[in-house]
């Protein structure tokens, strides 16, 4: 597609519920990133994929967070047993090797 | 209008005036810097970038200045327009890395 597509745009989850956030990167982009943006803050790195390989997951805040990109294109960020502190905008970005990032519009997660 | 000093969270500017947004970066090893614009409900959008071997770069109505001695970056917007109202983030990265590190952001409001 023309840009990075994320779904859903908004998600309200009850505390303890599992959620799955989807990212469709730009076709052909090798690199894919997930960032978390708390209200009023800059995005914070979560994890990085090169094709299907997850090369860095150092930013994932706990073992409740899990990301995958099984075929090297679409990626899913899963959060198990959501907590209120997980409320944030989750941004996906993709890039070609050595190229600039293109961000999606994000998924706003609210845990109630 | 100018965000004086290292960083101010908000900047109010009269339409048609020039805006200056400042950013202090933290990593002296960073050699690539990017300014992003983020409108409400959207992901960060690339504005302009600069590498550490330069101290100034101009785009359309925007100029980025880099002072490596004091680890300071600024974004100048000429003839600010209502469509420039947004949150602006500076981001830094080192060439052999892939993680963008974002500042906290400055909210620019353009007064008609």
pLDDT, tens digit, 9 for 90 and up, residues A11-63: 999 999 999 999 999 999 999 999 999 998 999 999 999 999 999 999 999 99
Q: Nearest residue of B to residue A106 by CA position?
A: B43
User: Rounded to an integer, what distance in angstroms lies between the CA atom of residue A48 and that of residue A104?
Assistant: 15
Chain B residues whose CB is inside 8 A of the A104 CB are 43
Write down the pLDDT at residue B4.
44
Beta bridge partners of B51: B32
Write down the pLDDT at residue B23.
93
Residue A2 has pLDDT above 90, yes or no: no
- Mean pLDDT, rounded, of chain A: 95
Q: Inter-chain contact B99–A106, Cβ cutoff 8 Å?
A: no
Over range B98-110, report the average pLDDT. Answer: 92
Q: Nearest residue of A to residue B93 by CA position?
A: A100
Residue-wise pLDDT tens digits, B48-59: 999 999 999 999
Residue B8 has pLDDT above 70, yes or no: no
Residue-wise pLDDT tens digits, B24-56: 988 888 999 999 999 999 999 999 999 999 999
Write down the pLDDT at residue B97.
84
The percentage of residues in chain B with a pLDDT greater than 70, rounded to a whole number, is 93
Q: Look at B8 and A65; give whichever has higher pLDDT.
A: A65
Query: Please, which pLDDT band fits residue B98 given cuts at 50, 70 and 90?
Result: confident
Write down the pLDDT at residue B66.
97
Residues in chain B: 112
Write down the pLDDT at residue B94.
86
Query: Please, which pLDDT band fits residue A1 given cuts at 50, 70 and 90?
Result: low
Q: Inter-chain contact B100–A101, Cβ cutoff 8 Å?
A: yes
Question: In this structure, are residues A41 and A15 in contact, taking their beta carbons and an 8 Å threshold?
Answer: no
Query: Please, which pLDDT band fits residue A77 given cuts at 50, 70 and 90?
Result: very high
Q: How distant is the Cα of B11 from the closest Cα of chain A, in angstroms?
A: 15
Query: Please, which pLDDT band fits residue B5 given cuts at 50, 70 and 90?
Result: very low
Q: Rounded to whole angstroms, what are the CA distances from A23 to A94, B31, B44, B71?
A: 9, 29, 15, 34
Question: In this structure, are residues A102 and A26 in contact, taking their beta carbons and an 8 Å threshold?
Answer: yes
Question: In this structure, are residues B107 and B10 in contact, taking their beta carbons and an 8 Å threshold?
Answer: yes
Q: Which residues of A touch B (CB under 8 A)?
A: 4, 31, 33, 35, 40-45, 48, 56, 59, 91, 93, 100-106
Q: Inter-chain contact A105–B43, Cβ cutoff 8 Å?
A: yes
């Amino acid at each position: 597609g023309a840009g990075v597509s994320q779904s859903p745009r908004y998600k309200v989850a009850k505390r303890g519920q599992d959620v799955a956030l989807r990212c469709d990167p730009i076709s052909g982009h090798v690199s894919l990133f997930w960032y978390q943006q708390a209200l009023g803050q800059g995005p914070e790195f979560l994890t990085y994929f090169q094709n299907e390989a997850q090369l860095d997951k150092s930013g994932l805040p706990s073992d409740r967070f899990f990301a995958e990109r099984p075929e090297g294109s679409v990626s899913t960020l899963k959060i198990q047993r959501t907590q209120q502190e997980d409320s944030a905008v989750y941004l996906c970005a993709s890039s070609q090797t050595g190229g600039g990032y293109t961000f999606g519009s994000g998924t706003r997660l609210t845990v109630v | 209008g100018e965000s004086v000093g290292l960083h101010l969270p908000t900047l109010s500017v009269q339409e048609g005036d020039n805006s200056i947004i400042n950013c202090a970066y933290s990593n002296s090893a960073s050699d690539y810097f990017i300014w992003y614009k983020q409108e409400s409900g959207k992901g960060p959008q690339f504005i302009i970038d600069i590498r550490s071997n330069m101290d100034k770069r101009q785009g359309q109505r925007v100029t980025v200045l880099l002072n490596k001695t004091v680890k300071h970056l600024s974004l100048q917007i000429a003839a600010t327009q209502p469509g420039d109202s947004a949150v602006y983030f500076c981001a830094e990265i080192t060439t052999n890395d892939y993680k963008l590190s974002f500042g906290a952001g400055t909210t620019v409001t353009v007064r008609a």
